[in-house]
Structure 1
Amino acid sequence: MGLWDKISGEFVDVIEYLDDTNNTLAHRFERYQNEIKNGAKLTVRESQLAIFVSEGQFADVFNPGMYELTTQNLPLLTTLKSWKYGFNSPFKAEVYFINTRVFDNLKWGTPQPLPMRDADFGVIQMRAHGGYHFRVNDAKKLITEAAGTDGHFTIDEIEKRLRDYIQTGFPDAIGESKIPLLDMIMNYNELSEGVKKVLTPKFEKNGLSLIEFTIGAITVPDAVQKAIDERSSMGVLGNMAQYQQYKSAQAMEKAAENPNGGAGSGIGMGMGFGMASQMMNQQQFQQQPQQHLVRPLAEAQQQQSGPPPIPSAAHFHAVINGQQAGPFSFDALKQLITNNQFSKETLVWKQGMDNWIKAGDVLDLQTVFGSVPPPLPPQ
Structure 2
Amino acid sequence: MALFRKKSEGGLMDVIRCDEPEYLVWKWRPSGDANSTKKENAIRYGSSLRVKDGELAVFVYNQKDGGSQDFIIGPHDQTIKTANFPVLTNIVGTAFGGASPFQAEIYFINLSGNVQIRFGIPYFDVFDPRFMDFAVPMAVRGTITFNITDYKGFIKLNRLINFELDDFKIQIKDAITKYIKGVVTNIPLDNGIPVLQMERKILEINDLVAQYLGPRLEIDFGVNMKGLDIASLEIDKETEGYAELRKVTAEQTTKTVGAQTDVNIRNLQDTQEINAINMAETLRIQREEAQRAQKLQSEAQNLSVHQLNQQTDVAKTAAKSMGMMGSGGNGGSSGGGGMMDPGSMMASMAMGGAVGSGMAGVVGGMMQGMNQEKQTPPPPPQVQYSLSVNGQQSGPFAWQQIQQMVQNGQITKETYVWKQGMSGWEFAGNVQELSSLFGTVPPPPPPAP
Structure 2 residue 174 is the aligned partner of structure 1 residue 164: yes
| Alignment match, 2:139 | 127
Query: Where do 1:258-273 residues align within 5 Å?
Result: none
Residue 66 (structure 2) pairs with residue 29 (structure 1): no
Matched with 1:136 is: 148
- Counterpart CA distance in 1 for 2:91 and 2:204 is 49
Paired amino acid for 1:41: S
In 2, Cα distance between equivalents of 1:17 and 1:9: 23
Verify the 8 A CA contact 1:120 1:240 in the aligned structure 2. Answer: no
> Given the two structures, how large is their TM-score scaled by the length of structure 1?
0.54
Q: Is the 8 A contact 1:51 1:95 kept in 2?
A: yes
Deviations 1:181-205 (A, max 9, x none): 2443444343233323333344223
Quote how far apart the aligned CAs of 1:287 are: 8.2
1:43 corresponds in structure 2 to: 50
Q: Is the Cα–Cα contact under 8 Å of residues 25 and 165 in structure 2 kept in the other structure?
A: no
Max Rg structure: 2
SS at match of 2:221: coil
1:224-243 matched pairs, under 5 angstroms:
240-243=250-253
Asked if 2 retains the 8 angstrom alpha-carbon contact of 1:120 and 1:180, the reply is no
SS in 2 for 1:110: strand
Structure (1 or 2) with the greater helix fraction? 2
Q: Is 1:207 the equivalent of 2:184?
A: no
Q: Give 1:134's aligned amino acid.
A: F
Amino acid in structure 2 at the alignment position of 1:190: E
What corresponds to 2:110 in structure 1? 99
- Once the two structures are TM-superposed, the CA of residue 107 in structure 1 deviates from its matched residue by 0.6
One-letter identity of the residue aligned with 1:97: F
Is the alpha carbon distance of 1:227 and 1:86 closer, same or farther for their aligned partners in structure 2, counting shifts above 3 Å?
A: farther
Distance in 2 (alpha carbons) for counterparts of 1:71 and 1:214: 47
Do residues 193 (structure 1) and 207 (structure 2) align? yes
Aligned 1:146-185 pairs, distance under 5 A: 146-150=158-162, 153-174=163-184, 175=186, 177-178=190-191, 179-185=193-199
Following superposition, the deviation at residue 124 of structure 1 comes to 1.6
C-alpha distance after superposition, 1:202-231 (max 9, x if no partner): 422323222212211111112479859988
Separation of aligned partners in 2, 1:199 and 1:90: 46
Say whether the 8 Å CA contact 2:92–2:98 is kept in structure 1.
no
Structure 2 unaligned blocks of 5 or more: 33-40, 268-449
Structural mapping, 1:283-298, within 5 Å: 283-284=260-261
Residues 109 and 130, structure 1, Cα contact 8 Å, conserved in 2: yes
**Number of aligned pairs?**
244
Distance 2:170 2:107 in 1: 23
Match of residue 70 from structure 1: 81
Structure 2 vs 1, CA of residues 239 and 216 (structure 1 numbering), >3 Å: closer, same or farther?
same
Query: Which of the numbers 47, 53, 60 marks the counterpart of 2:60?
Result: 53
Check 1:281–1:155 CA distance in 2 against 1; reply closer, same or farther (3 A cut).
Answer: same
Corresponding residue number in structure 2 for 1:355: none
Task: Tell me the SS of whatever aligns to 1:124.
Answer: strand
- 1-side partners of 2:141 and 2:78: how far apart? 45
Q: Is the contact between residue 25 and residue 154 of structure 1 (CA under 8 Å) also seen in structure 2? A: no
Distance change in 2, residues 1:239/1:49 (3 Å): same
Could you report, residue by residue, the CA deviation over 1:138-183 in whole angstroms, capped at 9, with x for unpaired residues? 4455455434421xx3431112111111121012222154332244
The residue aligned with 1:373 is: none
By how many angstroms is 1:36 displaced? Answer: 1.6
Runs of 5+ unmatched residues, structure 1: 232-237, 246-277, 291-379
CA distance in 2, matches of 1:14, 1:51: 16
Q: Tell me, in whole angstroms, the C-alpha distance in 2 between the residues paired with 1:168 and 1:217.
A: 17
In the alignment, is the contact (CA less than 8 A) between 2:127 and 2:195 conserved in 1? no
User: Are the structure 2 counterparts of residues 279 and 51 from structure 1 closer, same or farther at C-alpha, using a change threshold of 3 Å?
Assistant: closer
On the 8 A contact 1:48/1:63 being kept in 2, the answer is: yes
Q: Deviations over 1:265-303 (max 9, x none)?
A: xxxxxxxxxxxxx87543445789x9xxxxxxxxxxxxx
CA distance in 2, matches of 1:286, 1:53: 76
- How far did residue 82 of structure 1 move? 6.7
Q: What letter corresponds to residue 50 of structure 1 in structure 2?
A: A
Q: 1: CA distance between counterparts of 2:108 and 2:68?
A: 13
**SS of residue matched to 2:45:** coil
CA distance in 2, matches of 1:58, 1:223: 59
CA-atom RMSD in angstroms? 3.9
Structure showing greater relative contact order (alpha-carbon pairs closer than 8 Å, 6 or more residues apart): 1
Q: Identity of aligned pairs, percent?
A: 24
SS in 2 for 1:13: strand
Deviations 1:285-325 (A, max 9, x none): 5789x9xxxxxxxxxxxxxxxxxxxxxxxxxxxxxxxxxxx
Aligned in 2, Cα 1:104/1:25: closer, same or farther, shift over 3 Å? Answer: closer
